[in-house]
Amino acid sequence: MSVPKDAGWKDVPIAGRILEPGSAAKYETGGWRTYRPQHVPENCIHCLFCWLYCPDMAVIAKDGKFSEINYRACKGCGVCAQVCPGKRGNKALVMVLDEVAAASGNDAK
């Protein structure tokens, strides 16, 4: 369901309700982010826990494997890094300050 930009408060759906499945993909929640997950490929076992748990569908999987993070949708909550088992205790997703990552060339896509 889309809401016109000039809608009044009575036209906006009650918060907390998900009116259609998969609607998170429509929202660019990346603007909220302070930290961002950075992928460490050598530690990734492609379990896709990050894809499963991300609340914003920001983890992109391809052919059954981790592919990339959609930073337009990633709000930096850190759930993916928390659930990532990594390899031998070494995480394949680590949270870094957004401005530090951007300065190092890993800018938002």
Residues that bind ligand SF4 (CB under 6 A): 37, 44-50, 54, 56, 58-59, 66, 69, 74-80, 84-86, 92-93
Least separation in angstroms between residue 7's CB and ligand SF4 is 26
Distance of CA 50 to the CA centre of its chain: 9
Pick the closer one to ligand SF4 by CB: 86 or 105: 86
The sign one gets for the Cα dihedral 42, 62, 32, 21 is: negative
User: Do the beta carbons of residue 102 and residue 108 sit within 8 Å?
Assistant: yes
Query: CB-wise, 86 or 102, nearer to ligand SF4?
Result: 86
Min separation Cβ 1 and ligand SF4, Å: 22
| CB closer to ligand SF4 out of 28 and 46 | 46
Q: Which two tokens stand for residue 92?
A: 């394949």
C-beta of 11 vs 56, nearer to ligand SF4: 56
Q: Yes or no: say if 79 and 35 are a contact pair by the CB < 8 Å rule.
A: no
- List, in order, residues 6 or more apart from 2 with CB less than 8 Å away: none
Minimum CB separation from ligand SF4 for residue 2, in Å?
22
